[in-house]
Structures are given as C-alpha cells and as structure tokens.
Amino acid sequence: MPTTPRITAVIQARMASTRLPGKALLPLAGIPLVRHIIERVMAVPSVHAVVVAVPEGDDNLPITALARELGAESFAGSEDDVLDRFHRAADEFGGDYIVRVTADNPFTDTGFADLAVKKAVALQADICAPEGLPLGTSVEVISRFSLDAAFREGMRPHHREHVSPFIKENPGRFKIARFDSGMKERHRALRLTVDTEEDYRLAGILYDALYRGKPFPLADVLAYVDAHPELADINRHVEQRAMTHSAKRPGEK
C-alpha cells in the first residue's frame, strides 16, 4: 500500500514587521493575532505537524512560547533569508509537502487549505494553491522536491524573501497546480491580510463580529462584508507589495 504523505505546515512569523511592528501579538477579539493563525492551521485535517518559524533573537520568544503553549513546534532561523529559515524548519520537522502560511493572515481558511493539500497530493504537484480567494485567506502547498530546488538555486533577493517565487518562475520545470475556488469575481479587491493599521482595524471589526471561540470560515466573512459593504473601504487604498519586492538582500545591513 502507498505511504500517506506527511504534511507539515510552516507559519512564518516575526515581531519586527516594518509597517505594523509587533502585529503578531496584537489582539483580535482579545486573543493574539498569531494565536488565531496557529489555531486555524492546527484545524486543517490533512496537516500532521505545525511549525512556527521565527527569526533568531529574544524579540520573537513570545511567539515561540505561544506556539509551544498551543502544541505547535517552533523554529528560529534567519531574519532576512526567509527561504533558508523555511527550508531549515522543513529539514528539522520533515514533511513530503510543506504548507506555507504567513502570520499576516488571521483569515486563513481551513477548508481551502485542506483542499489545496489534497489536490497537491492527488496531482503530485510541486506547488498548489486555490485561485480567486481574497488576499490573506489562502495557503501554498509546496513539495519537498521543489522546496529543496528553490533553496539551492533561488538566489535573487525576492526568491529568498518570499520562498516560492523561484518555483513559480519555472513552470517548465515544476508542476504548478491552481484550482478554481469558485470566488473569482467575488470580493476580488477585499484585503484580509494584516500589514497596516487600516488592515488591523478591519480585522478587528470582523473578529469582534464573528469570532466565537473557534475558527470561522471565509464564507462567514464574505457574508458579513456583503451585509456591511462599507467595511471593504477601510483598507481598499492599501497597496500590496509585489512579490518581486525585497527590502534588502539576505545578509545586507
């Protein structure tokens, strides 16, 4: 019988966010933002292990302490070379497929994450993600083979900062699978990530309205925004940084 692939989720988190410092521990419905993300990822049925990967340094110890409190693993690595940190975390905790999650996204949808894992395994994809979800609600599922290749060969600054661009930039080499979420035209411009004060304000309103002690689905968020369309204007003006953006090269001061 075939062996069931091991699925490890790695959550990239840090305290030193440039646009909203300390956001990982900012409260949403009275609970630290990163705790919501950890709980959401731990609720994905197909995930076997959850690792919170932070930069080295005492500033990030509250995040790792919270991860351990919740039963997640933790790993400390490079601040600037996120691909190195991500790859070393996968080395330490294993996994045939690695689910990439960022600690900006307290609306990561557990259902779509589980579906992405199942499709990645079924298709033997090197990277798999749903299309058409609002920014901040999705994940990427990356095969260990393609992660290793990206680590060895992805040397441009944005390859190191954003983990997956090297894979996406080489579609002739890697099997890239995207599937229709069924939401291509719905709330296309809605920002459900937390990068700025405006993003955090919107997230706070939504969590106060919808959080009842456990992760709530994206469908609930969209229904609430449909009923209160003015909410989408709170952070509509915020410009999302391009994937090729890199604040500095790994190793630069």
Contact 188, 200 (CB under 8 A): no
Predicted pLDDT at 182: 86
Domain boundaries, the chain: 7-233
Predicted pLDDT at 187: 81
Q: Which residues of the chain are under the pLDDT cut of 70?
A: 1-2, 184-186, 241-253
Contact 117, 46 (CB under 8 A): yes
Predicted pLDDT at 184: 64
Strands 7-12, 97-102: parallel, antiparallel or unpaired by DSSP? parallel
Predicted pLDDT at 239: 82
Predicted pLDDT at 83: 97
Predicted pLDDT at 248: 43
Predicted pLDDT at 249: 35
> Which residues in 103-252 belong to E strands, given as ranges?
127-131, 140-143, 176-180
Global pTM value: 0.92
List the strands of the sheet with 49-55, edge to edge: 73-77, 49-55, 7-12, 97-102, 140-143, 127-131, 176-180
Contact 135, 191 (CB under 8 A): yes
Q: Is 7-233 in CATH node 3.90.550.10?
A: yes
Length of the chain: 253
Predicted pLDDT at 72: 98
